[in-house]
Amino acid sequence: MCGIAGLLASAALDRSAAHVSSMLAALVHRGPDDTGIWSGDGSRVVLGHRRLAILDLSPAGHQPMPSASGRYQVAYNGEIYNFEGLRSELESAALAPQWRGHSDTEVLLAAIEAWGIEPTLQRLVGMFSLALWDRTERSLTLARDRMGEKPLYYGFIGDSFVFASEQKAIRAAFGERLQIDRDALAEFMRFGYIPAPKSIYTGIFKLQPGHWLRVAPHKGRELDTRPYWVVDNAAQQDLRAELINCHDDQLIDRVDQTLRESVRLEMVADVPLGAFLSGGVDSSTVVAMMQAQSSQRVRTFTIGFDEEGFNEAPFAKAVANHLGTDHTELYVSAHMAESVIPDLPHIYDEPFADSSQIPTTLVSRLTREHVTVSLSGDGGDELFAGYPRYPITEALWQRVSGYPKAMRRSVAGVLSTLSARDWDRVLGVMPASVRNRVNGRRVHRAAQLMTVSSLAEMYVRLMSQWQPEDDLVLGAGRPAVFAPQWVDEQDGVLAMRRWDMNQYLPDDLLVKVDRATMSASLEARAPMLDHRLVELAVALPRRVLVRDGVGKWVLRKVLDRYVPRELIDRPKAGFSIPLAQWLRGPLRNWAEALLDSKLLEEQGLLDAGKVREMWRQHIDGLYDRSLFLWNVLMFQAWLAAQGK
C-alpha cells in the first residue's frame, strides 16, 4: 500500500517538485519503503509516490512508473488482485509489453495502453486510487476504486490542481491557503464524518468511489468527472430476476464460492499476511476461508476490553481455537486509549469521530508488529443486511406512515411545545433508569420522526447525532433534512443498505480502517468488498438476507460450513469502546479543556452554550451524550492540532 500526491499547474512552476516533495513527506507512514517524484511537461505536472512494498519488492516496482511506450506515467496506491489474470489476458492477445518485473502497477499500465482507461477500470478487481498523466493528450486522470477503500483528495489552489491520498499532504504544502468549510463542519457534527464529495476545507474535495476525473491544462479549471461503476446498475436487474428463482442452497453455494475466490485472491502477497478477528460472523467467515485455503496457520489478531459488555475477545479466541489459527490478543485499558488520543488528529487528517477509531488504531499497531498485510470482514453488514437497525427502522416507518400526516403533525406539535430543557425538568422527577431512556432530546427526536415524509428522512435522522435543527455550527447553512445518494425502493432494507454502501461505508468505516492501518504502515484488505460479491449481494432476494428478524441469514449459513453455530450466535456488539464511562472518568480533564466556554467563543465556530449544556448533562450523569460530545471533541482536538 502506498501514498500518492502531485499537482498540475497552468504554467511551469519553479517550486512544483518542492511542493510535491513536502506533500510526500507528510505521507511517509503510507509508504516507508521507497519514494519517487516524476516531473514532465516543463514541470507543469509532477507526480509523487510513497511505497509500501507488497508485490515485487524489487526496484522494478518503483513509482511513479512509465508505461512501456512512454505515453503514460502513473502514481498508484492500491492492490489489483486480478493482475495475474489481466497479465495472462494481455499476453494471450499479444498486447503485453516486454515485462520489467511482476508488479500489478506494470500490468495496470499495460492494460491502459491496450484497452484505455475506462475499460481497464471496469476490468480491475481491487482497491486503488491513481493519478495517470497522458503525454499524448496532455491530461491528468484520477480514479478511485468502486467501494472507496482507498482515499483521494483533490482541488484547485490558485492556478494549480493538486491531489493527494490524505489532506495532510495538501496541508503540508498549501496549509496557509486552506479555509474551513462551515457547511462541511455541520455535516461532520451531524454524522461524525464528512460525506463525499465535501472535505473540511473549502475547495478541496474527495473523489467519489467508482468515479474517475480528467483535467487538462488547456481546459483551465474544467473537470470532467464521471462514474465507471455504480452499486446497483442495469445488469443487477437481470441478476436479481435470475436469483429470485434459485433455491436457498444454490444461493448459499454462490455466496460461498464468490467470497472464497475473493479471499484467495486477496491472500496473494510477497510479505507476511494475517487477519483481524472479532469472533463475529464477518471476520470469522473471512478467517475460516483463509485457513481453509492455507497450508500454514493463519495469523489472527483481536482487541479486548476489561469492561463487561464491550469485550468480544473470548469469542474471537474460541473461533481461533476451532480454526487452528495462530492467535494474538491485546486488552485495551482506558489509559491505553488515552495515550492514542493525541495521535488521532494526525492519523485522521480531517475531523473524524467514530470512536471505534481507537481500538482500530491499537489493533493495527499490534498487527503490524507481526505482519504487513491484514484481511478484515468490513462490508458484511451492509452487503448482507446485518444491522438490526434495518428491519427496526423499516417497521417503525410502516407504523408511523400508517397514521394520517395531520394527526402525526398534531402529536409532534404537542411534544414540541416544551423545549428539550423543559422536558428534562418535567422528567427530572422520574427514576434515573427512566430518564436514561426518555429525556427532552429524545422527546423532540420522536416529534421529528412523527413528521417525516419518507423512510429516507427517517433513516438518515436516525443515523445522525446533531440534527440540522440544532444549528450547532455558527454561520453554516442548514442542510437538507436527509442526505443525497438515496434511491427510492419498495424494499426498504435494500434502500437503507444502498445508502450505507454509498455513504456510511466509504466515508466512515473505510476511512477508519484506512487511516488506522496506514498510520501503522499496515495494508488492510476487505474481501467482502470485491465488487463481484457486492453485485451478488445487492441482487440476492430478501428472504436469504433477513429471516425471522435476524440479518445475514445467507452468510451465517455459509459460516456454518466452517464454524459451529454456538461459537457465533450472540447479540451483535460492534467494535465499540466504553466511551460514556471514560468521558466521565479518565478522559474528563482532556475533554473539559477542549470544551472550555471561552475557547469555544473565541473560535467562533460552534454554539458554546449548546455544547456546554450537552457536557453538563453528561457529566452530571443525567443522560449519555457521549456520541454528540465525541463529534465536538474530535473536531476540537483536530483544530488544536492545526494550531488554531
Starting at the edge strand found earlier in the chain, the sheet holding 273-276 runs 326-332, 299-305, 273-276, 373-375, 523-525
Chain-centre distance of CA 82, in angstroms? 23
DSSP states of 420-437: HHHHHHHHTTS-HHHHTT
1, 2, 180, 539: which is the annotated catalytic residue?
Answer: 2
Give the residue among 210, 55, 186 at the shortest CA–CA distance from 128.
Answer: 210
Among candidates 391, 398, 307, 380, which has minimal Cα distance to 584? 307
CA distance 176 to 109: 36
Please give the Cα distance from 134 to 72 (Å, whole number): 5
The pairing of strands 211-215 and 224-227 is antiparallel
What is the distance, to the nearest Å, from the Cα of residue 250 to the centroid of all Cα atoms in its chain? 31
Q: Residue 41 and residue 12: Cα distance in Å, rounded?
A: 8
Q: Is the dihedral of CA 58, 62, 68, 74 positive or negative?
A: positive
If 0-12 CB within 10 Å is exposed, 13-18 middle and 19+ buried, where does residue 174 land? buried
Closest CA to 341 of 97, 161, 582, 163: 582
Which residues, other chains included, contact 7 with Cβ-Cβ below 8 Å and sequence gap of 6+? 16, 19, 20, 45, 46, 160, 161, 162, 163
User: Does residue 246 have an active-site annotation?
Assistant: no
Quickly tell me which residue has 417497521 as its cell.
395
**Exposed (0-12), middle (13-18) or buried (19+): which is 225, by Cβ within 10 Å?**
middle
Q: CA angle 446-425-630, nearest 5°?
A: 60
Rounded Cα–Cα distance for residues 544 and 562 (Å):
19
Which of 582, 627, 637, 576 lies closest to 190 in space, CA to CA? Answer: 627
Taken in order 91, 96, 97, 100, is the CA torsion positive or negative? negative
Beta strand pairing call for 299-305 and 326-332: parallel
CA distance linking residue 499 with residue 457, whole number of Å: 12
Can you name the residues that pair with 606 across neighbouring β-strands? 473
Please report the DSSP string for 300-337 in residue order.
Answer: EEEEEESSTTS--HHHHHHHHHHHT-EEEEEEEPHHHH
CB 358 within 8 A of CB 310: no
- As to burial, measured by CB atoms within 10 angstroms (0-12 exposed, 13-18 middle, 19+ buried), residue 269 is middle
Any residues with CB less than 8 A from the CB of 161 and at least 6 apart, and which? 7, 8, 9, 140, 154, 155, 215, 221
- Per DSSP, 505 falls in state I
Q: Counting beta carbons within 10 angstroms of the beta carbon of residue 527, is it exposed (0 to 12), middle (13 to 18) or buried (19 or more)?
A: buried
Give me the active site residues, please: 2
